[in-house]
Amino acid sequence: MPYTIVTDSSCNLTEATIDECELEILPLIFFVDGEQYQSYLKGEKTDLKQFYTMMRDGKVVTTSLPILTESEKVFRGILDAGNDVLYLGFSSGLSGTYEATDLLLKELSKSYPDRTILSVDTLAASGGQGLLVWYAAQKKKEGATIEEVRDWVEVNKSKLAHWFTVDDLMFLFRGGRVSRSSAWAGTLLNIKPVLHVDDEGHLIPMEKVRGRKKSIQGLLNHMKQTADEPVSEQTVFITHGDCLEDAEYLADLIRKEFGTKDIRINYVDPVIGAHSGPGTLALFFLASSKN
């Protein structure tokens, strides 16, 4: 039975990759000064540079769960077209999106009792979620069944390393990740945190360094310590909050250190960027250990 892989716009994949992998994307919701937007519209290019400019200008950005009636339309369209569904969702440790969508799928399965409808909490976000979805799509292209792809993601999601740094601690404070005093002190002292996503899908501060270049070097150091060999043959994702030069600098460091050729760079979407802020830089790869 043919099947379609579905994920959320928090995967931060480019339109070209979405098309190449034949994915369906559920758009998450964000608000700028109370006005509602969808974080992904197929075929329409979102001006993410402008989004981060608005954040820098002090616009109030908030987020919300997806509109489930819209998600239901997507799933019913797939099922009515004769395809089964594999949903790979945004980490339940960071959002209620997976739980809400999984509940919707359980309800839909009652209307389609002869169809296979599977879901996986990726425990991943941004390019980490995107990289897992990309690998899942490669397995599908190789002929893996829907159950085999689901099982591969379940086994390998704990090996998907996420390493982040941010440029402005005040955005992490607003998102509840650091205290006000830590945010103010860090800003005054030019302290940059290095964070990762743990095995339960939560964003965890791991260390603090002084200065942007050292925080970027910190991302590379964690890759050196934990990445699966051979790193030169891995596909690596980098996402950024409107700091393309830093993303390209990190990519160059990785190429020089490991000889890695397939490094893909894209923006952090508005739903995640609303909490991490402009200047977010994130690195994703397969690791033998995530810490």
35-72: pLDDT as tens digits: 998 888 776 777 899 999 999 998 988 898 889 999 99
The answer to whether residues 124 and 136 touch, using CB atoms and an 8 Å cutoff, is no
DSSP states of 236-250 as a string? EEEEESS-HHHHHHH
Count of other CB atoms within 10 angstroms of residue 133: 26
- Name which CATH class applies to 3-157: alpha beta
Domain ranges of the chain: 3-157, 159-286
Q: How confident is the model at residue 211 (pLDDT cuts 50, 70, 90)?
A: confident
The answer to whether residues 161 and 286 touch, using CB atoms and an 8 Å cutoff, is yes
Rounded-to-integer distance, Cα 172 and Cα 276, Å: 6
Q: Reply yes or no on whether the pLDDT at 175 is more than 60.
A: no
Q: Which fold has domain 159-286?
A: Hypothetical Protein Tm841; Chain: A;domain 3 (3.30.1180)
Strand order in the sheet with 117-121: 24-26, 3-8, 84-89, 117-121
pLDDT one-digit tens code per residue, 212-271: 899 999 999 999 999 988 999 999 999 999 999 999 999 999 999 999 999 999 999 999
